[in-house]
Each structure stands twice: as structure tokens, then as C-alpha cells.
């Protein structure tokens, strides 16, 4: 069992939560980033730094993650590619990506991209808070339990 993390965009609190679960449940965590990031010094955690370039980390995750594994990512197009491959995907705020919600998630993402480009909305997501951390922990527990049962 492996959990992959798109480490360039994942909040540290979410990464730390995944490592806690890995230490308890005995699975590997693989951080994938386009630049060096802090890696917890546990043997169950690996860091892979991919060559920089557009979507290099995304492409690596899609190429290497397999069904039965989980990827933590905020990137909706990346999640869509993973879900189509049969890989579970979860955002750091606790929202699971799946076949049922991908169309809606992509449409909302594209709408906000268009609105930002037109200058009609600004900024990004709100700061990562305790409510997000708790929602993520609950979803992570549920998904890991499901995946470990299937293994």
C-alpha cells in the first residue's frame, strides 16, 4: 500500500497527517515535487524530485500510481487523470475525487479559471484551518480503510 502526495501544493498539516497514519498502519508515503521539500525523517517516507517543467510532477504521479493506491492532490485535472486510471484521489481538505463528481469538479475549476483570467474574481482558497485538517483526517481514514480491505 502506498500513498502518493503532490507535495508542491499540499499543506504541511495534511502531509503530517498522512505520515501519522502511515506510522500507525504501516504503509509507504511518496512525496513527489518539482523542487526539494522538507521530508519527514521516517523510513516510510520517500521524496522524489522530478525535473521541473509544466506538469512534470503530475505526469510522474499518473505514470507511477496504480489502482489500490491513493494520491493526495489539489489539482483537479490531475485528479481526473488518476480517477480515469482507477487510482483513488483526495484533496487536502477532505474531498474525495471520484467518477461521480469529476465532471462537476472540472466544470467549477474551469469556470473559476475563466473568471480569474477576466479579473472578475481573485485569490485562491482560504487558509488551511482546523476544520480542513479534521475533514481531511476523517476522509483519509475512510479511504485507507476501504483500500486496505480491498488489498
Residue with cell 495534511: 14
Task: Determine the average pLDDT of the residues in 14-25.
Answer: 96
Q: What is the pTM of this model?
A: 0.86
- Note the Cα 30 to chain centre separation in Å: 11
What's the pLDDT score for residue 116? Answer: 65
Q: Tell me: the pLDDT tens digits for 56-110?
A: 999 999 999 999 999 999 889 999 999 999 999 999 999 999 988 777 776 676 6
What pLDDT digit, counting tens, does each position of 24-66 carry?
A: 999 999 999 998 998 999 999 999 999 877 789 999 999 999 9
**CATH (domain of 114):** 3.40.50
Q: How far is CA 105 from CA 33, 117, 150, in A?
A: 23, 18, 26
Domain range enclosing 133: 2-150
Nearest 10 degrees: Cα torsion 83, 88, 94, 95: 20
Q: How would residue 126 be classed by pLDDT, with cut points 50, 70 and 90? A: confident
Residue 106 burial class via C-beta count within 10 angstroms: exposed 0-12, middle 13-18, buried 19 and up: middle
Q: Tally the domains of the chain.
A: 1
Supply the pLDDT for residue 109.
64
Residue 75 exposed, middle or buried by CB count within 10 Å (0-12, 13-18, 19+)? buried
CA distance 8 to 56: 11
Could you give the CA distance from residue 138 to residue 45 in angstroms, rounded to a whole number? 21
> Given this model, what pLDDT does residue 105 score?
75
Amino acid at each position: 500500500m502506498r500513498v502518493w502526495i503532490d507535495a508542491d501544493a499540499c499543506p504541511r498539516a495534511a502531509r503530517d497527517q498522512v505520515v501519522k497514519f502511515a506510522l500507525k498502519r504501516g504503509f509507504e508515503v511518496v512525496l513527489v515535487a518539482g523542487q526539494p521539500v522538507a521530508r519527514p525523517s521516517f523510513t516510510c517516507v520517500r521524496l522524489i524530485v522530478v525535473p521541473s517543467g509544466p506538469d512534470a510532477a503530475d505526469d510522474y504521479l499518473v505514470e507511477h500510481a496504480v489502482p489500490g493506491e491513493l494520491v493526495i492532490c489539489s489539482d483537479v485535472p490531475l485528479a481526473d487523470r488518476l480517477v480515469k486510471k482507477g487510482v483513488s484521489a483526495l484533496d487536502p481538505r477532505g474531498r474525495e475525487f471520484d467518477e461521480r463528481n469529476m465532471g462537476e469538479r472540472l466544470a467549477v475549476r474551469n469556470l473559476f479559471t475563466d473568471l480569474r483570467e477576466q479579473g472578475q474574481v481573485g485569490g485562491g482558497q482560504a487558509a488551511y484551518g482546523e476544520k480542513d485538517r479534521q475533514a481531511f483526517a476523517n476522509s483519509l481514514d475512510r479511504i485507507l480503510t476501504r483500500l486496505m480491505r480491498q488489498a
